[in-house]
């Protein structure tokens, strides 16, 4: 089965769409390693702001993170394709990841999860819970949320975080890396 052509490229972009150096980060909102790398990714994007470096984040859902799909729908619903809203709300959710991780959610229901996502959106942005839940259930949000998962499959991504720099997947940075580690990789790639 072929992947349908989405209405826009996968991911949320910080930086220039035509940047010479592109970073693609595949993350899962429930993944503890993705939570660990998140502040560093934001620091890399901030450090290279105004330079020919871009960061595109692809939000995917791993099979062992059962709460991640609905959290992802909430992220897409709140962001409404706005990268700044996406990055801001993702930070907010990562800071509260313990509230929906597998152990703490073991005996809770799907309705409990939907209520939690709506509570997060309301606390973060003041959105009305009922209309937000309706937006999460819209078919276009579903398509937006599944697009990065399908794109990840074309790149053989099966774990998070998975990183690519200029489409190269064998990069020497990971969730343990610091901004200085990223600089050591990126600086030699920048034009002189």
Whether 123 is covered by a domain: the verdict is yes
Residues 72/29, Cβ–Cβ less than 8 Å: yes
On whether residue 179 sits in a domain, the answer given is: no
Report the chain's C-alpha Rg in angstroms: 17
Does residue 108 sit within a domain?
yes
How many independent structural domains does the chain possess? Answer: 1
- Enter the pTM of the model: 0.94
Phi, psi values for residue 9, rounded to 5° = -60, 155
pLDDT in tens, the chain (192 residues): 566 677 778 999 999 999 999 999 999 999 999 999 999 999 999 999 999 999 999 999 999 999 999 999 999 999 999 999 999 999 999 999 999 998 889 899 999 999 999 999 999 999 999 999 999 999 999 999 999 999 999 999 999 999 999 999 889 999 999 999 999 999 999 987
Q: Where residue 164 sits, what CATH number does that domain have? A: 3.40.30.10
Q: How far apart, in whole angstroms, are the C-alpha atoms of residue 104 and residue 31?
A: 14
Residue-number span of the structural domain to which 61 is assigned: 12-169
Tell whether 82 is covered by a domain: yes
In a domain, 52, yes or no: yes
70 within a domain of the structure (yes/no): yes
Q: Of 20, 7, 52, 17, which is closest to residue 166 (Cα–Cα)?
A: 20
188 in any annotated domain: no
Query: Is 4 inside any structural domain?
Result: no
């Amino acid at each position: 089965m072929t992947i349908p052509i989405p209405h826009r490229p996968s991911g949320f972009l910080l930086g220039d769409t035509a940047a010479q150096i592109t970073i693609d980060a595949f993350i899962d909102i429930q993944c503890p390693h993705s939570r660990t790398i998140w502040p560093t990714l934001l620091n890399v994007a901030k450090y290279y702001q105004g330079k020919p470096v871009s960061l595109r984040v692809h939000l995917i859902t791993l099979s062992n993170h059962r709460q991640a799909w609905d959290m992802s729908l909430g992220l897409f619903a709140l962001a409404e394709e706005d990268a700044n809203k996406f990055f801001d709300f993702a930070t907010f959710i990562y800071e509260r990841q313990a509230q929906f991780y597998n152990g703490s959610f073991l005996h809770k229901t799907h309705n409990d999860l939907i209520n939690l996502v709506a509570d997060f959106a309301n606390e973060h942005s003041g959105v009305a819970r009922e209309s937000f839940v309706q937006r999460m259930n819209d078919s276009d949000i579903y398509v937006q949320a599944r697009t990065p998962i399908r794109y990840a499959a074309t790149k053989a991504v099966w774990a998070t975080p998975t990183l690519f720099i200029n489409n190269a997947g064998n990069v020497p940075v990971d969730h343990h890396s610091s901004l200085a580690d990223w600089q050591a990789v990126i600086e030699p790639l920048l034009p002189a």
